[in-house]
Amino acid sequence: MNELRIVGRCVRSQIGCWSARHCCFQARYDHVFSIALGVFGSRRKAHRWLARSAVGVGRQAPCRMLCTSTGYADVHGELLRMDHGMYA
C-alpha cells in the first residue's frame, strides 16, 4: 500500500453516467484516501486534508490534483513522506 501502483483501468461506466476522466479521478481518490486514512487515523481528518490546501503539494487542495497522473504522484508522495514523519 505504500508504493505507487496502478489501481485500475480508466474505462467508461457500463451505464454511461461517468466519463472516463471521472472514473480515473475516482480510482485515484479512493487509493489516496485509503492511505490518508492510515496517516491521519480518521475519515474526517483524511477528507479534510484532501479538500484543503496543503503546503507539501504547492498549497493546492490534494483532491484537485488527482485529475492528472503527475498530480496523483505528487499527492501520493506527500502522503508517504507524512507517513514516515518527513513534513514539508
Q: Is 3 within a domain? A: no
- Helix, coil or strand: residue 8: coil
Tell me how far apart the alpha carbons of residues 3 and 56 are, in angstroms, rounded to a whole number.
Answer: 18
pLDDT of residue 67: 87
CA dihedral 48, 5, 2, 42 (to 10 degrees): 20
Q: Is 47 within a domain? A: yes
Q: Is 14 within a domain? A: no
Q: Is 11 within a domain? A: no
| Domain of residue 54, residue span | 20-83
Q: Which of 79, 33, 36 is nearest to 56 (CA)?
A: 79
The DSSP code for 56 is G
Tell how far CA 36 is from the center of its chain.
8
Note the pTM of the prediction, 2 decimals.
Answer: 0.74
Q: Higher-confidence residue: 1 or 70?
A: 70
pLDDT in tens, 13-64: 455 566 777 778 888 999 999 999 999 999 999 999 999 999 999 999 999 9
Q: Is 15 within a domain? A: no
Q: Is 77 within a domain? A: yes
Q: Is 10 within a domain? A: no
Domains in the chain, number: 1
Q: Is 44 within a domain? A: yes
